[in-house]
């Protein structure tokens, strides 16, 4: 039983067999008609997922490459940006902008909390001279398992007039993201999250205002130049040789998603997240995130007193084949994280909670090992 | 017979079944032990292929991303570089450097010819003040099918002291590249060429002098920051989520390559290139490249008088399932190109020449359609 794994991390996520095989076909010419057909279908499908009439570019890179593309195509050196951070990934956006010469003002909220829309409104209201050119935010902070409410924050930023750049890497498909309606200007996502496909692609959606801003932006860019991507997209191509297998996998993933229905998919993620939290609490463990803003994609749990987080995750992986994530940054040794996004079913949620219970008991925690699974089952049935 | 294709373009190339399937396994954690084992094996194998004791970084990007990584990690804005170009891809290196603020001096050679080492020596000798910080060159110019002789050019640049940055995207594995012995400082390759794996990865090999230069280089970089890549490589990881399937495919590709033997692989490519050229000439067609520097990876052929290149390639693809490449840049309508790198066998070479003969005859060219295949067969047997 060496190989059987439950990959319960917040990406890369498990991949359905039909998607795995969609990437295993014979190689084709990336400048030929077969690729054009696949790219066109993917682009149309992504626009529905991002809920935008803007362009969506498919880049061969990790999500971080997509974030870099968002920054360097929208800004010029010296621009002031307001970076809203609730964890590690919020900071990444800021670091990229600083690297390319932007002036970054940070608006941090405590880890485990969401950004307070009113504090954002207040800061932007103070900016009477409109010096803030862009606002950065993550929709789902993967390092803490917290969702920001973009339906509130989007219109606030829109009123000020700054561009709103959204890290949606772990949120798209797992939760609602109404890009156009909520006035989000650029949204970045990654293939290896709720899209259920392997890593290798990032998606950058560019709204109307952002497309105009792109023409003024002076940060240097070549591989990630979206104007080039735009010139090729209309021909059904990408400027550079793309990760062809992942494009075919994306097509299959989008087909599966259309079959499930986007709203059903969001509801599934919310339901599994709730069941996971109920299971965790029933094991006597403490959630990191406030429940009002807890993520539909990933749940962060404090390592119980007296339990070594790394040893616990090692035993989970080696004995039970359940792969969990540790913490990142300052939370490295403080938490473990359960990813429940993408190709996850009820069985996976229940099994994960059951095996966490068993494993913690083996490591000496006083706990009914069935309590977590039982609570999860009840939550799923309620 | 819709699907059966001979993909005879200079990348992406055909992929062996065992490599296709190596990418279709269950997804794993990119920060876990299975990935570390694969990455470590790939890195060691790549060092043998690049014939270097330096680090080789595996990036999730096309080859162009690898070129950008080479430029931005080695140079600072304002640096003077000498860009040697014999075609479209030589120019790409220069464009990237200009984008990031380098001063680029071009040393162009006619399309179809190789760079003349003595002219490079002369230009570098004039640079008594050592203002030239780096020299760019392609080992194999994919747009014309010409190889530069790096065994001569490397030591010339080494004597001057400038860094030599090599675009080896379509050359590595198809032809010898003795990075350390020839004093090449940075060599970039791509997964979808002679490595026989799908697109999605680029490889950047960094020699000792280049590793030192990296610490002084001031061009902005984040996704392509090789210092970050270095910090993660020692832990068996990549800084950002990599294209996991392609890493497993690379491992399988390198295993196949070790079985064949690197020298045997170079010899196979040279033999197929020769047979292709003999076949082309026997059909009465004209080669673009001088034979003394003709590529082992790709053969460029002038479109015969009176034949529309695009219509010819369309008929080859739609009627016979043979995919050929057109020209690029100023050569767009002037040539077609036959890729014969990677997973190619004698049967593919012979069939391609035969079907080119048949198709050209159908399009009105006065030709014995068997002449090309016959000449190729004889060349293979000699």
User: CATH 3.40.640.10 occupies which residues in chain A?
Assistant: 17-258
> Are A49 and A257 a contacting pair, CB within 8 Å?
yes
| Cβ distance of B26 and A3 shorter than 8 Å | yes
CB neighbour list of residue B35: distance below 8 Å, 6 or more residues apart = B28, B29, B236, B237, B244, B247
CA distance A253 to A255: 5
The minimum CA-CA distance between B245 and chain A, rounded to whole Å, is 7
| Cβ distance of A11 and B243 shorter than 8 Å | no
Read off the tokens for A45.
């499908």
* Chain A residues closer than 8 Å to B310 by CB: none
Read off the tokens for B283.
């059909």
Which residue positions in chain B have pLDDT lower than 50?
1
List the single residue in A5, A200, A317 with the smallest CB-CB distance to B246: A200
| Cβ distance of A28 and B7 shorter than 8 Å | yes
Chain B, nearest residue to A77 by Cα: B220
* Chain B residues closer than 8 Å to A218 by CB: none
User: CATH 3.40.640.10 occupies which residues in chain B?
Assistant: 17-259
What's the topology of domain B6-12+262-381?
Answer: 3.90.1150
Which residues, numbered 37 to 76 in chain B, qualify as contacts with chain A under a Cβ-Cβ cut-off of 8 Å?
60-65, 68
Interhelix angle B244-260/A244-260, rounded to 10 degrees, is: 140
| Range A210-215, long-range pairs (CB < 8 A, 24+ positions) | A210/A54, A210/A74, A210/A163, A210/A185, A210/A186, A211/A54, A211/A55, A213/A74, A213/A163, A213/A185, A214/A73, A214/A74
- Interface check B142 vs A, CB under 8 A: no
Q: Which of B204, B115, B202, B124 is nearest to B157 (CA)?
A: B124
> Are B163 and B186 a contacting pair, CB within 8 Å?
yes
**Cα–chain center distance at B236:** 26
- Interface check A11 vs B, CB under 8 A: yes
**Cα–chain center distance at A160:** 26
Alpha-carbon Rg for chain A in angstroms: 21
- Interface check B29 vs A, CB under 8 A: yes
CA distance B310 to B11: 18
Q: What share of chain B is helix, strand, coil (3-state, %, to 5)?
A: 45, 15, 40
| Cβ distance of B14 and A27 shorter than 8 Å | yes
Q: Which of A204, A221, A222, A57 is nearest to B64 (CA)?
A: A222
* Chain B residues closer than 8 Å to A26 by CB: 3, 5, 7, 14-15, 20
The minimum CA-CA distance between A240 and chain B, rounded to whole Å, is 6
| Cβ distance of B241 and A20 shorter than 8 Å | no
* Chain B residues closer than 8 Å to A99 by CB: 220-222
Read off the tokens for A265.
């998919």
> Are B35 and B51 a contacting pair, CB within 8 Å?
no
* pLDDT for position A2: 57
List the single residue in A11, A239, A244 with the smallest CB-CB distance to B198: A244
Sign of the Cα torsion A30, A36, A37, A40 reads positive
| Cβ distance of A190 and B28 shorter than 8 Å | no
> Are B279 and B340 a contacting pair, CB within 8 Å?
no
Q: Which of A190, A193, A197, A339 is nearest to A273 (CA)?
A: A339
| Cβ distance of B244 and A63 shorter than 8 Å | no
Chain A, nearest residue to B34 by Cα: A3
Q: E strands within A71-154?
A: 80-85, 103-108, 132-138, 140-141, 146-147
The order of strands in the sheet holding A335-339 is A298-302, A335-339, A325-326
Which residues, numbered 244 to 263 in chain B, qualify as contacts with chain A under a Cβ-Cβ cut-off of 8 Å?
244-246
**In a structure prediction context, what are the per-residue pLDDT tens digits for chain A, which is 382 residues long?**
457 899 999 999 999 999 999 999 999 999 999 999 999 999 999 999 999 999 999 999 999 999 999 999 999 999 999 999 999 888 899 999 999 999 999 999 999 999 999 999 999 999 999 999 999 999 999 999 999 999 999 999 999 999 999 999 999 999 999 999 999 999 999 999 999 999 999 999 999 999 999 999 999 999 999 999 999 999 999 999 999 999 999 999 999 999 999 999 999 999 999 999 999 999 999 999 999 999 999 999 999 999 999 999 999 999 999 999 999 999 999 999 999 999 999 999 999 999 999 999 999 999 999 999 999 999 999 9
Which residues, numbered 206 to 235 in chain A, qualify as contacts with chain B under a Cβ-Cβ cut-off of 8 Å?
219-224
- Interface check B190 vs A, CB under 8 A: yes
The minimum CA-CA distance between A16 and chain B, rounded to whole Å, is 9
Strands B140-141 and B132-138: unpaired
* pLDDT for position B89: 84
> Are B120 and B157 a contacting pair, CB within 8 Å?
yes
- Interface check B23 vs A, CB under 8 A: yes
Question: Count of CB contacts below 8 A, A vs B?
Answer: 180
Give residue-wise pLDDT tens across range A354-376.
Answer: 999 999 999 999 999 999 999 99
List the single residue in B101, B223, B244 with the smallest CB-CB distance to A199: B244
As a CATH number, domain A17-258 is 3.40.640.10
Fill in the DSSP letter of residue A240: S
* pLDDT for position A90: 84
| Cβ distance of A21 and B23 shorter than 8 Å | no
Instruction: Tell me the whole-structure pTM to 2 decimals.
Output: 0.97
CA separation, residue B270 to residues B43, B147, B190, B257, B297 (Å)? 26, 12, 20, 16, 8
| Cβ distance of A198 and B323 shorter than 8 Å | no
| Cβ distance of B222 and A96 shorter than 8 Å | yes
* pLDDT for position A1: 47
Strands B335-339 and B325-326: antiparallel
Q: Which of A269, A306, A143, A334 is nearest to A277 (CA)?
A: A269
CA distance B357 to A169: 51
**Interface with B, mutate which of A202, A241, A332 (most B CBs under 10 A):** A241
What's the topology of domain B17-259?
Answer: 3.40.640
User: CATH 3.90.1150.10 occupies which residues in chain A?
Assistant: 6-12+262-381
List the single residue in B28, B199, B221 with the smallest CB-CB distance to A243: B199
CB neighbour list of residue A306: distance below 8 Å, 6 or more residues apart = A364, A365
């Amino acid at each position: 039983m060496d190989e059987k794994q439950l990959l319960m991390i917040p990406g890369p996520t498990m991949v359905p067999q039909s998607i795995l095989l969609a990437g295993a076909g014979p190689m084709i010419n990336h400048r030929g008609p077969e690729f054009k057909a696949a790219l066109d279908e993917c682009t149309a499908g992504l626009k529905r997922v991002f809920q935008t009439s803007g362009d969506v570019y498919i880049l061969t890179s990790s999500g971080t490459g997509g974030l870099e593309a968002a920054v360097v195509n929208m800004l010029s050196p010296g621009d002031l940006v307001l970076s809203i951070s609730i964890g590690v990934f919020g900071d990444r956006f800021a670091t990229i902008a600083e690297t390319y010469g932007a002036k970054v003002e940070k608006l941090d909220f405590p880890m485990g909390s969401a950004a307070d829309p009113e504090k954002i409104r207040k800061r932007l209201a103070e900016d009477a001279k409109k010096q803030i050119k862009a606002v950065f935010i993550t929709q789902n902070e993967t390092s803490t398992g917290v969702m920001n409410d973009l339906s509130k924050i989007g219109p606030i930023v829109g009123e000020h007039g700054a561009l709103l750049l959204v890290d949606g890497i772990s949120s798209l498909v797992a939760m609602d993201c109404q890009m156009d309606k909520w006035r989000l200007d650029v949204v970045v996502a990654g293939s290896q999250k709720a899209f259920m496909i392997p890593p290798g692609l990032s998606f950058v959606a560019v709204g109307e205002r952002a497309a105009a801003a792109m023409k003024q932006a002076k940060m240097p860019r070549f591989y990630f130049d979206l104007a080039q991507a735009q010139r090729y997209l209309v021909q059904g191509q990408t400027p550079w040789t793309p990760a062809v297998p992942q494009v075919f996998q994306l097509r299959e993933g989008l087909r599966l998603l259309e079959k499930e229905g986007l709203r059903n998919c969001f509801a599934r993620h919310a339901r599994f997240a709730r069941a996971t939290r109920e299971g965790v609490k029933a094991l006597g463990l403490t959630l990191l995130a406030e429940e009002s803003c807890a993520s539909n994609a990933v749940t962060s749990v404090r390592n119980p007193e007296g339990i070594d987080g790394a040893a616990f995750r090692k035993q989970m992986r080696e004995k039970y084949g359940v792969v969990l994530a540790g913490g990142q940054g300052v939370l490295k040794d403080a938490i473990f994280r359960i990813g429940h996004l993408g190709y996850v079913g009820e069985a996976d949620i229940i099994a994960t909670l059951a095996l966490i219970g068993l494993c913690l008991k083996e490591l000496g925690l006083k706990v009914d090992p069935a309590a977590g699974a039982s609570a999860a089952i009840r939550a799923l049935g309620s």
